[in-house]
Structure 1
């Protein structure tokens, strides 16, 4: 149990603009930009200015339904958003200005999700991404190209690499890719936490498969809303549930390494 020692949060700034519930916020790796998203279907990008000021530099209106999550690439100013419209959008800055645009939409038709996309997570290097959905699947996406030079060239865009399916019984609300190894954790509406790893079996060139390596039934007594790997200890995983409880888990056994 945490002990209160008298420290307090100091309120320093607020800003408005969204017309409905704000569902997610995310800082870029440099801490110079803040992204927000809302049920109003929009994504806003705010620039951090001196004196705790924030200036909106772009309003992105590409989604047609609620936007559930925003996530920055671990090292580049590339923004990912996931939505109730079943898509993942990749946003990049145009030239040297403050104009942002949708560089790519990942979704149906094709190999995308067929229902609400709740969350996304990058691997340590940022060249792979996993997304989770109401369609009971996890999708793995890959970009082997140099994303820092991403443009309209298809070689610089994300491609579907694998689908993890047949393991979840209800909506997958959260997914997190460990930055220390190749483990992917998921939390779902079936109250279960699952851990996946890249399969060691040989695959055809250009494809990849993932296997379930651990599963914890009734990890919470209600929906598992969030899972998050520890940034320094590869064996520790935190989870949060509708049961009002936060739990810390330790993975036992051999761990794969990147």
Structure 2
């Protein structure tokens, strides 16, 4: 029998929500589309972590576009028997080496490599060896056309379609999820970078429906303290829930929380790219119920964790048991925001900007919505609680332990903020559904040179086979005469 589900349901009394925005403050300006058109349904487009490349999954292949020229750079084909549903870049590789993993409806994941060292690539060169300069020469383009991706490893084990693939920030782990209701975690155990040796370290079967998406928490300073480690995986499912997974002290991956509140399939999820308040990164989810939700970990106060550690079943200070193992792995997550409900049909995709903190969403209704978070940068909730305790001490109303007031356990709650809609763009791909939206850096010639690699744009991918970039512009207010 599987362990009982842990977590909390959404408490409407603590959820921060907004309903509408009075006046849009931004608008999306369509930039020239990526060429060539794919002329078939495209599922998603994933930017490279550091290079001006964009990988688009469609049918049985992946087309890699240059963000500098907005044209095809290379393609991955003849590796899968059915449609490629998702793809992800392996991080932390030299600039002249590329690695992509593809997840396919044929139930396999493929690991592909591109090594341009033999073609004059040099990790220390200005051109990065891939022909990705903003001004691409004809010879560079010809070389790229002649270069092929190589399928190195096929990861086989799922019983049905793979829906999502994701690398951990270090690249050590790869997560895959499937229609077979499972999440698999694979580990790169190769002795060197060129050794492609992967092992299955966990098969997670607690979801009760198709698992639609997986996402690893990014490495940030906020994730490294206390018992909240850096390797955290979240999965979204057809069972309307999200599960959070961590590795326990015995090296087993366990579910530490079940996030419940969505009233339809959870199509996807993304961790907050950069935590802006010093707390553990939040988690964003989106669903067939037409909502986007933000979840926050209710962190326990570090000082009180240390005080309580000796009494806990895991052991105590000085017991020789690491602090990460002294406490139960159960975690409390709370839905702290539901973004304004604008979409009229399933939300297939949402994206959280690391640069601005803005969120974009899109889906079955073909509408692209842009949201912005506003509110106080600090909260006085803990201060008020301390004041109340002090006042109660004077009145003699606080229980005493050894002459000191008995402390109650406090959780580090999220800051009080709200979300508003700043842009609403209908029919982003005409009558077609939009399957994916993502933020990426601009390198195209339409961007001022001093802003290339800095300024962001949105990229949407749809059933029409078009990969469309969008510039976010400030809405001009009409002046009355």
TM-score norm. by structure 1 comes to 0.88
SS at match of 1:23: strand
CA contact (8 A) 1:239 1:247 kept: yes
- Structure 1 Cα separation of the partners of residues 289 and 372 of structure 2: 20
What is the CA distance between 1:247 and its match in structure 2?
0.4
- Whether 1:187 and 2:362 are equivalent positions in the alignment is yes
- Structure 2 Cα separation of the partners of residues 24 and 149 of structure 1: 29
Question: In structure 2, what is the equivalent of residue 235 of structure 1?
Answer: 456
What is the CA distance between 1:141 and its match in structure 2?
1.0
Question: In structure 1, what is the equivalent of residue 417 of structure 2?
Answer: 208
What is the CA distance between 1:3 and its match in structure 2?
4.6
Question: In structure 1, what is the equivalent of residue 333 of structure 2?
Answer: 158
Question: In structure 2, what is the equivalent of residue 14 of structure 1?
Answer: 154
Please, which moves more after superposition, 122-131 or 80-89?
122-131
- Structure 2 Cα separation of the partners of residues 65 and 224 of structure 1: 24
Please, which moves more after superposition, 30-39 or 221-230?
221-230
Where is the helix percentage greater, Structure 1 or Structure 2? 2
What is the CA distance between 1:208 and its match in structure 2?
3.1
Deviations 1:14-34 (A, max 9, x none): 121110001110000000000
Question: In structure 2, what is the equivalent of residue 46 of structure 1?
Answer: 186
Q: What are the equivalent positions in structure 2 for 1:120-159 lying under 5 Å apart?
A: 120-125=269-274, 127-143=281-297, 145=299, 152=328, 157-159=332-334
Of the three residues 340, 345, 367, the one matched with 1:170 is 345
Higher relative contact order (CA 8 A, sep 6+): 2
SS at match of 1:18: coil
SS at match of 2:156: coil
CA contact (8 A) 1:136 1:165 kept: no
Do the aligned partners of residues 3 and 37 (structure 1) sit closer, same or farther apart at CA in structure 2, a change above 3 Å counting?
closer
Q: What are the equivalent positions in structure 2 for 1:98-137 lying under 5 Å apart?
A: 98-107=251-260, 112-125=261-274, 127-137=281-291
Of the three residues 215, 232, 249, the one matched with 1:78 is 232
CA contact (8 A) 2:211 2:237 kept: yes
- Whether 1:219 and 2:219 are equivalent positions in the alignment is no
How many positions carry a matched residue from both structures?
A: 247
SS at match of 2:236: strand
Please, which moves more after superposition, 219-228 or 195-204?
195-204
- Structure 1 Cα separation of the partners of residues 213 and 165 of structure 2: 8
Do the aligned partners of residues 49 and 226 (structure 1) sit closer, same or farther apart at CA in structure 2, a change above 3 Å counting?
same
CA contact (8 A) 1:172 1:187 kept: yes
- Structure 2 Cα separation of the partners of residues 54 and 163 of structure 1: 39
What is the CA distance between 1:181 and its match in structure 2?
1.2
- Structure 1 Cα separation of the partners of residues 274 and 376 of structure 2: 23
SS at match of 1:190: coil
TM-score norm. by structure 2 comes to 0.48
- Whether 1:246 and 2:467 are equivalent positions in the alignment is yes
Q: Which has the larger radius of gyration?
A: 2
Do the aligned partners of residues 178 and 144 (structure 1) sit closer, same or farther apart at CA in structure 2, a change above 3 Å counting?
farther
What is the CA distance between 1:234 and its match in structure 2?
4.6
What is the CA distance between 1:253 and its match in structure 2?
2.1
What is the CA distance between 1:216 and its match in structure 2?
1.0
- Structure 2 Cα separation of the partners of residues 149 and 83 of structure 1: 28
Unpaired stretches in structure 2, ≥5 consecutive residues: 1-34, 36-70, 74-144, 220-229, 276-280, 301-322, 382-413, 442-452, 476-481
CA contact (8 A) 2:375 2:417 kept: no
SS at match of 1:71: strand
CA contact (8 A) 1:90 1:105 kept: yes
Unpaired stretches in structure 1, ≥5 consecutive residues: none
Do the aligned partners of residues 172 and 48 (structure 1) sit closer, same or farther apart at CA in structure 2, a change above 3 Å counting?
same
